Amino acid sequence: MKFQAEIEKRKTFGIISHPDAGKTTLTEKLLLFGGAIQTAGAVKSNKIKKSATSDFMEIEKQRGISVATSVMSFEYRDKIVNILDTPGHKDFAEDTYRTLTAVDSVILVIDCVKGVEAQTERLMEVCRMRNTPVIVFINKMDRDGKNPFDLLEEIEEKLGIQTQPLTWPINMGSDFKGVYNLFNKSIIAFGKNQKATENDLVPMPDLSVPELDTMIGEQDANQLREDGELLMGVYEDFDKEVYLSGQLAPVFFGSAVNNFGIKDMLDTFVEIAPNPRPRMTDQREVLPSEDKFSGFVFKIHANIDPKHRDRLAFLRVCSGRFERNKFYQNIRADKKLRFNNPYAFLASDKEIIDEAFPGDVVGLYDSGTFKIGDTLTEGEEMNYVGIPSFSPELFKELINNDPMKSKQLDKGIRQLTDEGVAQMFTQHGGNRKIVGCVGELQFEVIQYRLLGEYGAKCSFQHMPYFKACWIKGDQDKINAFIKFKSSNIVEDKEGNLVYLAESEWYLNTERQNNPDIEFYITSDFKHKL
């Protein structure tokens, strides 16, 4: 019974949004409400030296953006809440997509001024594919933005999900006066930097009472009555099961930077958000309540503490109980591993744990054994599926600007590309190193981290390739192809042969000319062109 009770306590979710919608700020305020931190960091303010807790890498602190997923846990109302704060920038979408495989639900942050943006649509496509339950937080209501009804319509049209507001704004911008909670029929008045509590709730079961006019003014009171009547006519009672099926998104309005509207959402979240859910493997569906432990690695991070050069694998526990110092099987590597110091996280702060349960994210010290997607079990041969990988779209040669630091550069680029934000290729039969990324900003981050964390100076030189294709087939045909296209053939870190195509035309031509060779866009040889 204790084991089942631990599962039911866990709520593991990701926070996603377009860049600069306020996602990291919201994460900070959730931690603040949960008592995990005492002061919220300012993500972009130059006046406040403290950086956001979830942005712990040096480049994140300087640029004011998130470039890696952060994992944080706190307790709230007898629940253990695990937050995975993801990068918003499109160049780091791979990290976000992989993180979405490790969560049970999502909070989507939308800027009320800009509405639904392109990156938000892409992230929601991944959620829709998995039927992940989504809660929407419409942020920055203290600024003049789009009409709330228009925002709801935009979300439904662009994101393909039905919405249902559980709070409703009373005006916006400089006239923003608070929100009306449609769920418990109460009003919370807006105040800047106000950590609203139950004491600030004013019960308002009947919007026709004159006290409403006194509280928010006659004009806004009449508008709220009109909006309330319309909302009551359009929406039926909130259906938790439809939300859990991923078909209905409850919507909350607020201002994360001012701590406003967050408690309403957090209270509702711990009440309705799903507990750890079943996960599919290549053999069967695994239930969280199963006795035997299993889990998968969805992220690897080098130098989470640059002073100690530690490399951590982030493991999502899917079933059973994870125990410190117990041997588990890495299915891909066919190795038994034991972990002396497994970690729980509060961003860059870590604490050693003795056990973990389904829904928890555990940090495992890694000497280079793990790859993203690895499955750990107590011996059962199975692999968790659904972790996406992408062919790079930009390719640059890595140039060593300090030959005295060649070893540091080699070690650094291998460890950083192990994290999955980029892929590294080596010229077939040579030493030239080529880095492939999805976005331009990734090269800047790699260059910055190589210098800051490894003391290795480098630069990147553009290469005229558009896609990486892993090749497989008859060895004689492969050898002939390599001889003919030697300048385009590289090897990935596992020694697999890869053809770098200059354009779609070249790729199609080579496929037609070499029918006995198979071209794949992922290194697991599962996605054939």
* DSSP letters spanning 47-108: S--PPPTT--SHHHHHHTS--S-EEEEEEETTEEEEEEE---SGGGHHHHHHHHTS-SEEEE
Q: What is the DSSP letter of 173?
A: G
Token pair listed for 413: 């680029």
User: Cα 206 from chain centroid?
Assistant: 41
pLDDT at residue 3, rounded to an integer? 82
Three-state secondary structure call for residue 370: coil
Give the number of C-alpha atoms closer than 13 A to the C-alpha of residue 288, restricted to the C-beta side. 22
**Which backbone phi and psi does 438 adopt, to 5 degrees?**
-85, -30
Q: Return the biggest CA–CA distance within the chain.
A: 87
Three-state secondary structure call for residue 161: coil
User: What is the signed CA dihedral for 483, 485, 487, 492, rounded to 10 degrees?
Assistant: -90
Token pair listed for 450: 């190589």
For residue 12, what are the β-bridge partners? 82
For residues 352 and 400, the answer to whether their CB atoms sit within 8 Å is no
Q: What is the DSSP letter of 40?
A: P
Cα dist from 105 to 12, 18, 101, 150, 344, whole Å: 7, 18, 10, 25, 20
For residues 487 and 434, the answer to whether their CB atoms sit within 8 Å is no
Average pLDDT per run of 10 along the chain, which is 529 residues long? 84 88 84 62 34 44 46 87 71 68 94 89 81 95 94 95 95 91 86 57 86 90 92 90 96 92 91 94 94 92 60 90 96 92 71 92 85 92 80 89 92 82 86 86 85 90 92 91 92 89 92 90 65
For residues 184 and 145, the answer to whether their CB atoms sit within 8 Å is no
Instruction: Report the sign of the C-alpha dihedral through residues 485, 491, 496, 501, in that order.
Output: negative
Contacts with 13 (C-beta within 8 Å, 6 or more apart), sequence order: 81, 82, 83, 84, 103, 104, 105, 106, 107, 269, 273
In which element (H, E) is residue 251 found?
Answer: strand 248-253
Q: From the CB of residue 221, how many other CB atoms can be counted at a distance below 10 Å?
A: 21
Long-range contacts for 477-485 (Cβ within 8 Å, ≥24 apart)? 477/514, 477/516, 477/517, 478/517, 481/510, 481/514, 481/517, 482/428, 485/510
Q: Which fold has domain 279-377?
A: Rossmann fold (3.40.50)
Instruction: Report the sign of the C-alpha dihedral through residues 503, 509, 510, 516, in that order.
Output: positive
Contacts with 288 (C-beta within 8 Å, 6 or more apart), sequence order: 7, 275, 276, 277, 278, 318, 319, 358, 359
The radius of gyration computed from the CA coordinates of the chain, to the nearest angstrom, equals 25
Contacts with 134 (C-beta within 8 Å, 6 or more apart), sequence order: 105, 106, 107, 108, 124, 127, 161, 246, 249
Whole-angstrom distance, CA of residue 30 vs CA of residue 83: 9
Q: From the CB of residue 200, how many other CB atoms can be counted at a distance below 10 Å?
A: 16
pLDDT at residue 305, rounded to an integer? 55
CA triplet 127, 130, 133: central angle to 5 degrees? Answer: 60
Query: Between 1.10.760.10, 3.30.70.3280, 3.90.199.10, 3.50.50.60, what CATH number should domain 394-520 receive?
Result: 3.30.70.3280
Long-range contacts for 497-501 (Cβ within 8 Å, ≥24 apart)? 497/428, 497/470, 497/471, 498/425, 498/468, 498/469, 498/470, 498/471, 499/468, 499/469, 499/470, 499/471, 500/395, 500/425, 500/434, 500/463, 500/465, 500/467, 500/468, 500/469, 501/465, 501/466, 501/467, 501/469
Whole-angstrom distance, CA of residue 320 vs CA of residue 322: 7
| Equal fold, 2-70+78-272 vs 279-377 | yes
Give the CATH class of 2-70+78-272: alpha beta
- Taking the domains of the chain in order of start, what are their residue ranges? 2-70+78-272, 279-377, 394-520
Contacts with 521 (C-beta within 8 Å, 6 or more apart), sequence order: 391, 467, 468, 469, 470, 527, 528, 529
pLDDT at residue 528, rounded to an integer? 64
Helices and strands, counts by H and E, the chain:
14, 31
For residues 190 and 260, the answer to whether their CB atoms sit within 8 Å is yes
